[in-house]
Amino acid sequence: MSLDPCRFDEFIQTIFLIPGIWKKEFLLDDQHLTQVWKHISHTFSISEPEAQNQWNYLIHLHHLMHKSINSTAKFRFPDPISSEKWLPAETVLAQTLAPFFKEKLDEILIDK
């Protein structure tokens, strides 16, 4: 089962509330991180790997949001997806979602 698209905002907010996932100075060890992903997967009724995949996909879309505006942002994480197979469609998706999620993703994923 995958994350309900209507819950993307809630998913991003949940990640934001757990800086051990995204803030380098608070990074968790693997054991604690596994527990966090179990909690997130339970909260959203998805599997643990799916929760992590959704997070990685949001990181990827965030990179594409910035690529489309020629940003020089310093990202906390490299783009986890290197395949260009779906890049045109993903770029359009990123541009479509940007007005809704870019600001919050910037807060989480950009080093200031």
For residue range 68-110, list pLDDT tens digits in order. Answer: 777 777 898 889 988 888 888 999 999 999 999 999 999 999 9
Domain boundaries, the chain: 5-109
**pLDDT > 90: percent of the chain:** 65
In whole angstroms, what is the distance from residue 101 CA to residue 108 CA? 11
Q: Crossing angle of helices 30-43/8-16, nearest 10°?
A: 150
Q: Closest by alpha carbon to 8, among 63, 65, 55, 45?
A: 55
Rounded average pLDDT over 57-68: 90
Rounded average pLDDT over 33-56: 96
What pTM does this model have? 0.85
